[in-house]
A and B are shown apart, each in its own frame.
Chain A
Amino acid sequence: MVVKVNNLVKRYGDLLALDHLSLEVRSGEIFGLLGPNGSGKTTAINCILSLLKYDKGDITVFDKPMSPDAYDIKKDIGVVMQEVAVFNELTVYENIDYFCGLYVSDKAKRKALVDEAIDFVGLNDFRKFRPKKLSGGLLRRLNIACGIAHKPKLIILDEPTVAVDPQSRNKILEGIVDLNKLGATVIYTSHYMEEVEQICSRIMIIDKGKVIASGTKDELKSMITLGEKITLDVFNIEEAQIEGFRQLRNVTSVDYSEGILVIRSLKGKNNLERVLEYVKSEGISFGKIYSEMPTLNDVFLEITGKELRD
């Protein structure tokens, strides 16, 4: 087990930030920690890294107890914090070299690692740039390079895509998958369910410091009763026909607005087929029709009664 957290409790005064949180991260996986802002993701990470004191619980990393002076563990961990932590007075190369130098003292070895990291995050054209000259997306990439240049076995990324443009976000996500393919175990925290769903092999959803659910994305989705969402672009539809959709088996709600008909259903077989048969039988003209499976937001919504982004 790369990381094992057992029964972790952390309080900030009267606020219970982590409520008996337990988790396990297996070697070689991308473990997603998903939850809304303030749910306790960063607190959990800081406790795992031994930066924060906690009230109760056990934490082991690489099967050894984690502590602030566990340097043999720390040398194999790379951390990319939520806030960009680079020096504005140093160039891109110097920043990466400085942080890498805290792990690797051999100069020649370090140079190769820094070059590789720059190449990996696609900052080759910006080696001599100061951070202030970089866009938000490039800055995030530099922040990542500073955290991973020393080739750690465990990489912890705490919301690395906050305030990043879609192009840079995709580049970052692809990079994380590549790091994982190269052998690193990854812990990825985010409140963007799409990202977690896209790259993580296992996901833990937390809220108010408590584990809500955990498993693969399919396992998580199977925990809820909600089935697919079917959407139709219809040209003309009567109220009686909308009511007809409501009477179909498994359908839980039907909404119609400005030519878009949205049908939600419980889990079950042949939901889409039944809708199509009804459309044909009623002679309803439609432009296109598509079906979506439940998202992690639906999982969160059903379990907590609120949207993930609330």
Chain B
Amino acid sequence: MFKHIFIYRLKVLMKDKTMLFWTLIFPIALAAFFKLSFGGLVEQGTFRAIDVVVVEETRQEGFMGVMESLSSGDDQLFNMTIEDMDTAKGMLEEEMVTAIITVNETIGMTVNQSGFGQSIVKSVLDQYNNTANAVENILSTNPAAFESIAEDLRSRVTYTVEQPITDAKMDITLNYFYALIAMASLYGSFFGMEEVNNIQANLSVHAARVNMAPVHKLKIFLSSTSASLVIQYSEMLVFLAYLRFILNVDFGSQIGLILLTTFVGSLVGISLGAFVSALFKSGEDVKTGILIGTTMTGAFLSGLMFGDIKYLVQTKMPILALVNPVNVLSDAFYALYFYDDYIRYTQNIAILLSFSFVFCTATYLIIRRRKYASI
């Protein structure tokens, strides 16, 4: 009996185009939209070395040493070329460089517009000039201080220490995609709603017919919900594959736990839908509206549309963050990616399983009723 109902429910659900749209096509379209919108954000956050041309009218070993140091290595600040003044002016004119640095007795710069790069060049030159002037002044009054000044300049101390919580590369767009995956998982609620509609005689004609059959209602519910879970999880796998391989969203290396999280998310989604459907007697359209409203509100509060809201909710109303399944689910992905230990992740999964348990128990308590006051 389980197999019979399970297989037919799979057939029905696979051919339900409306359901397929909401649970798969819509999240895919939204992800593509996100990718297009966020495409430039990561590049904007990456520093590109500033192109400068140096015109060395007077040889200054010290300054050229500093410039060569700033123009090499992984964290180079400048791309430096050395040319005569005419060539340098041509390069500036054609915007091949940001600034011309002129090396004389003093160090000067020429720019033809203001901007971020120009400010950095100016800041570096100001700092060099100030330091050079200070050293010159000190040595003119106290030549014996040369050694200690040289030592001070060599051993600059940073008084703050960066302590990274993870080795993972920071990507500000990931939170949006995590919230989107959470939202898509919770869209599994449509499947849960459908299953309860199909076994409650006061909700649909199909259910009335099923209720007249000599089969226990719980058996029908479990077999049809299992079919829903298989379909929803399969769709989520397609969605994850799309994010990972087409949109190149980085999920880190813990693929097994990511799949587990998605499975738990699908379970929460389906049980939420079943609970809402059992709780409200209204029509399918009203219930769909309630589920979309709940899921979208949850997604909004977990940062799907506006990234900072997640932080705001977390700090101002932490209880709201805790009872929002979309937030807990997206946070589980976040914890998996950014944290090296599993404490936060495990907490999130435990909360999600609790949600599912509560929804399932409440649903059972409602649908176990066998006779209806009206049909």
Contacts and interface: CB of A to CB of B under 8 A. Distances in A.
Contact of B208 (A53, A75, A81): A81
A89 B209 contact: no
A86 B204 CA distance: 11
Interface stretch (A96-104, A209-217, A221-229, A239-247): A96-104
A46 interface: yes
Given A84-B205, A85-B205, A103 B370 contact: no
Contacts of A90: 8, 11-12
A292 to B, nearest CB: 38
Given A87-B206, A147-B209, A102 B11 contact: no
Contact of B11 (A69, A86, A89): A89
A207 B4 CA distance: 42
Interface string A75-88: 10101010111110
B374 interface: yes
Contact of B212 (A12, A49, A69, A84): A49
A51 B372 contact: yes
A235 interface: no
Given A52-B372, A79-B212, A89 B4 contact: no
B15 A89 contact: yes
A137 to B, nearest CB: 18
Contact of B211 (A51, A105, A146): A51
A172 B204 CA distance: 24
Nearest to A72: B214
Contacts of A72: 214
B212 A85 contact: no
Most B CB atoms within 10 A — which of A74, A83, A87?
Answer: A87
B375 interface: yes
A94 interface: yes
Contacts of B374: 12, 52
A102 B215 contact: yes
A74 B11 contact: no
A89 B16 contact: yes
Nearest to A77: B212
Contacts of B1: 101-102, 105
Contact of A51 (B4, B204, B215, B371): B371
Q: Is the interface of A mostly helix, strand, loop or mixed?
A: loop
Nearest to B4: A101
A90 B16 CA distance: 10
A71 interface: yes
B343 interface: no
Nearest to B211: A51
Given A81-B205, A85-B206, A53 B213 contact: no
B212 to A, nearest CB: 5
B218 to A, nearest CB: 11
Nearest to A146: B209
B373 A99 contact: no
Interface string B194-215: 0000000100111011111111
A85 B213 CA distance: 14
A77 to B, nearest CB: 7
Contacts of B15: 89
Nearest to B212: A79
Contacts of A231: none
Interface in A2-56: 12, 46, 49-53
Contact of A89 (B12, B216, B372): B12
A244 to B, nearest CB: 57
A46 B214 contact: no
Contact of A102 (B14, B208, B213, B375): B213
A52 B371 contact: yes
B205 A83 contact: yes
Interface string A126-159: 0000000000000000000011000000000000
A98 B8 CA distance: 7
21 contacts: A49-B212, A51-B201, A51-B212, A52-B371, A52-B375, A53-B372, A68-B211, A68-B370, A69-B216, A77-B212, A83-B205, A85-B204, A85-B208, A87-B206, A89-B13, A97-B8, A98-B4, A99-B209, A101-B5, A102-B4, A102-B214
Interface of A: 12, 46, 49-53, 68-69, 71-72, 74-75, 77, 79, 81, 83-87, 89-90, 94, 97-99, 101-103, 105, 146-147
Interface of B: 1, 4-5, 8, 11-16, 201, 204-206, 208-216, 370-375
Given A12-B374, A99-B209, 14 more contacts: A12-B373, A49-B212, A51-B201, A52-B373, A52-B375, A74-B212, A74-B214, A79-B212, A87-B206, A89-B15, A94-B8, A101-B4, A102-B215, A103-B214
